[in-house]
Amino acid sequence: MSESRPNAEFWLDSLRREGAAFRAALTPETLGSQVPSCPEWNVEQLVAHVGAVYRFHAEHLTRGVATPPEQEDEDPSIAPAGPAVIEWWDESFRIVLAALESTDPDSPAWNWSIVQDKVAKFWFRRMAQETAVHRWDAQLGAGAALTEPIDTRLAVDGIDEMLDTFLPSKHDWDPEGQRGVVTLRTTDADAHWAVRLRGVGISLLDTGTVFDDSPHAQSAVSGSASDLLLALWGRVPFTVLTVEGNPELPRVLIA
């Protein structure tokens, strides 16, 4: 777990920065290029996905209520085809940024998590993290040499989000019968986590307490915060990290 929790202003600043970097990676010439980290998409489809995410969440965020929206998910088909999708993304980004800037982070807002409070703050974090990972995707689609690491503090927060929000909310997260403890540690920040695989479930452990029983196997993973986050999202292989112990355990954590 990380030492300090970011706040809404940090997430807004991160969203602005990552959004600008995402936009800088887009050109009409690269829209047809495949995105190696999302092989089912080309750059145009990635842009349509991100823009649709922005519009969907901006709309329900400003309702000021914690009840689910009528629409269940974003719809990338609303995006125009071809180079026009870039200007459409520009407008989508302005829409979500304006929605967040005009919303009290503590105001009621729906989210899909089963553990996080139903407040707008959830979406400040989620939109910053969504943009950061997809910015990396967009840069990779434009040319592998263009990819830049995710900011260390933002990446640490992204690992937190993966383990404290996605992990307990993902009912189909299957540990594949694996049992043991995986510890994760960043080499460029003072942050660490421990996850227990229980064979039929996964839980994030408080690293300040004693484990409830001896692990059947153990794995220790370390690396930069950016590489750790990207590995958890399946963007880079765990081989870019230092993995000690059972090499199979960390792969169960991939989203």
- DSSP codes of every residue in 219-246: EEEEE-HHHHHHHHTTSS-GGGSEEEE-
Residue 106 DSSP symbol: T
Digitized pLDDT (tens) for each residue of the chain, 255 residues in all: 555 679 999 999 999 999 999 999 999 999 999 999 999 999 999 999 999 999 999 999 999 999 999 888 899 999 999 999 999 999 999 999 999 999 999 999 999 999 899 999 999 999 999 999 999 999 999 997 789 999 999 999 999 999 999 988 876 666 777 888 999 999 999 999 999 887 777 778 766 555 555 555 699 999 999 999 999 999 999 999 999 999 989 998 998
| Domains of the chain, each with CATH number or no CATH | 8-148 (1.20.120.450), 153-253 (3.30.1050.10)
pLDDT of amino acid 217: 64
| 121 closest CA partner among 136, 133, 110, 132 | 110
Q: Are 234 and 202 in contact (CB under 8 A)?
A: no
What does the block give as tokens for 106? 């503590």
- Angle formed at CA 244 by CA 241 and CA 248, multiple of 5 degrees: 80
